[in-house]
Structures are given as structure tokens and as C-alpha cells.
Amino acid sequence: MLDKATLEPGDTVLDVGTGDGLIAFGALERLGPSGHVVFSDISKDLLDHCRAAAAAEGLLDRCRFVLASADSLADIADASVDVVTTRSVLIYVKEKAAALRAFCRVLRPGGRISLFEPVSVLMRDPDRLLGYDITPVKPLTAKLREFFHSVQPPGANPMTDFDERELIRHAERAGFTDIHLELRVTVKNGKRPVPWNHALRMSANPLVPPLGEVLDRVLSPQEIAEFTAHLKPLVESGAGRDRQAHAYLVAAKD
Ligand SMILES: C[S@@+](CC[C@H](N)C(=O)[O-])C[C@H]1O[C@@H](n2cnc3c(N)ncnc32)[C@H](O)[C@@H]1O
């Protein structure tokens, strides 16, 4: 992402949805002593964490921390940054078109965005759950899916309501010119083996409960035993299919 952003010494980079600063600190390192980074997130805790980390590294004079949602970037002035980066953030944002407009607004003419988003909508497979073959336990899996859909209704779920074409459309409508998108898709046999008790504590995304909790809520003890007997050996041996799709979007503002 940072390679694609083609940073220039002295640039100001705004990292939207900075989290614990993976991209923002990477940008600081690449920009050199005259470059600045604006860390932005909707989580005050994460911004405080980044501020403490920047202070520990003696980097505070090159950093700003702004609590703002990606779809407005309130408190970030028009035409005030050279580059906007954002990684795995738009999947949480319902108003993606507004976010792209906000990115365009805060960029100086000649500025650019470099985005990276998982495009999970491309990875749907009705015969698999998290990449594991569930055909022998399809009726039980249907109950789990019904629960997941009640928590994240398909049409209203920002994680799955877009694909790479939508990102291009939003970027173009927001006023970006010179738009490039790279889609990387991997489908391969074999997943990392995971102990079953770990798998029960994991969730598909931060907005849904962990698998163990979902099983307890949705299935009877007998159904849980049947589901576990099928899935546990697959999960523990890594006998699933790894499926990933990621979009890299780079665009410039005239
Ligand atoms: C998966 S993390 C990615 C963090 C970081 N960009 C990285 O790549 O390591 C998603 C981040 O997006 C932030 N986020 C979620 N919704 C947001 C929104 N509407 N506006 C800004 N940030 C948001 C979360 O607080 C979290 O820090």
C-alpha cells in the first residue's frame, strides 16, 4: 500500500482508520524527518495508544491525532494532506461513497489515495463455512447462517455490500482521476491448523460473536455434538480451502 502511495519526502499523509498505527508508523519511517502523519480513527483508545507509541519513539512533533469517522473526516481541513491511506477500514463503513468524497475533499490538488480492502463478497461458497466443507452438516450450518444474517443482514452489512467495481465507481464519482485497481484473489487448499478450543473463541469478523457462543445460542447440545464431530477434525488438521480477495486502489486528484 505504501509503495503504491509513492510518498515524497515532506509529504503529509492521513491514515484513516489507523488502528494501532501499522500503516501510519510505516509512512513516518518512509517520509523522512520533514514528513508528517495524521493518525485518524473513530476509536479514542486506539489514537491514545498510537500517541503513546509515537511519544516513546520521539516522533510526536511529526504526528497529529484526529478522532473522526471516515465518512466525514470532520476536523480535517479541505486540501490539507498529500496522501490518504486506509487499510481494512471501508469494510466497516456503510457510507463508502461519502468516505471517498471526504478523502477527495481533504487532499490537495495532485494528492492521491492508496487503499486496501478485503472484498469478501467474492468469496461466498454455499458449501463451505470459513473455508471448510459443511455439506454433511448443511441443515445445522443453515441455522448458524440464519443467526449470522440476523446480526449482519446481508443487504445492510458494510463488509459484504460492495465489490471492487463499487470502489472504482465511488472513487470516480468522488472526483478522482487516474484510478487504478488491482484485485488479488487466492483460492488454495489447506488452512492453518487451529486447535478446536481456539476456533471456538474466534469469530469471522469483529462484529459477530465467537463460534462457540453462536453454537450455544443456536444449536441443541445434540446438534452441537454432531456439528463438532464433523468440523473439529477439519479445523484441527487444516483441511479447508483458503479463500481471499483483496483490492488495492490508487487514485489521484487533479
Ligand atoms: C481492521 S482495523 C485496521 C487498522 C489499520 N488500518 C491496519 O491496517 O492495521 C479497522 C480500523 O478501522 C477503524 N474504524 C472502523 N470504522 C471506522 C470509521 N467509520 N471511521 C474511521 N475508522 C473506523 C477501527 O476503529 C479500526 O481501528
pLDDT in tens, 116-146: 999 987 777 889 998 999 999 999 999 999 9
pLDDT at 15: 98
Return the higher-pLDDT residue of 155 and 218: 218
Residue 55: is its pLDDT beyond 90?
A: yes
What is the band of 70 on the pLDDT scale with cuts at 50, 70, 90? very high
Q: Which residue owns the Cα nearest ligand 1 atom 12? A: 17
How far, in Å, is the centroid of ligand 1 from the Cα of 223?
A: 36
pLDDT at 124: 79
**Ligand 1 neighbourhood includes 36 CB (under 6 angstroms):** no
Encoded amino acid at 43, one letter: S
Directed axis angle between helix 211-218 and helix 221-237, to 10°? 160
Using DSSP bridges, classify how beta strands 128-129 and 132-133 pair: parallel, antiparallel or unpaired: antiparallel
**Ligand 1 neighbourhood includes 207 CB (under 6 angstroms):** no
The three grid cell numbers given for residue 219, joined into one nine-digit string: 444449536
Element containing residue 213 per DSSP (H, E): helix 211-218
CATH of domain 12-117+161-184+246-252: 3.40.50.150
**Ligand 1 neighbourhood includes 89 CB (under 6 angstroms):** yes
How far, in Å, is the centroid of ligand 1 from the Cα of 159?
A: 12
**Ligand 1 neighbourhood includes 21 CB (under 6 angstroms):** no
**Ligand 1 neighbourhood includes 98 CB (under 6 angstroms):** no
Ordered by start, the domain boundaries in the chain are 12-117+161-184+246-252, 125-155+192-238
Residue 47: is its pLDDT beyond 90?
A: yes
120-129, 143-152, 224-233: lowest mean pLDDT where? Answer: 120-129
**105/246 Cα distance (integer angstroms):** 25
What is the band of 193 on the pLDDT scale with cuts at 50, 70, 90? very high
First to last CA, the chain: 21
The strand pairing partners of 13, in sequence order, are 37, 83
Ligand 1 pocket mutation pick from 15, 16, 41 by most atoms within 8 angstroms of CB: 41
Q: Which residue owns the Cα nearest ligand 1 atom 1? A: 88
Q: Is the pTM here over 0.75, yes or no?
A: yes
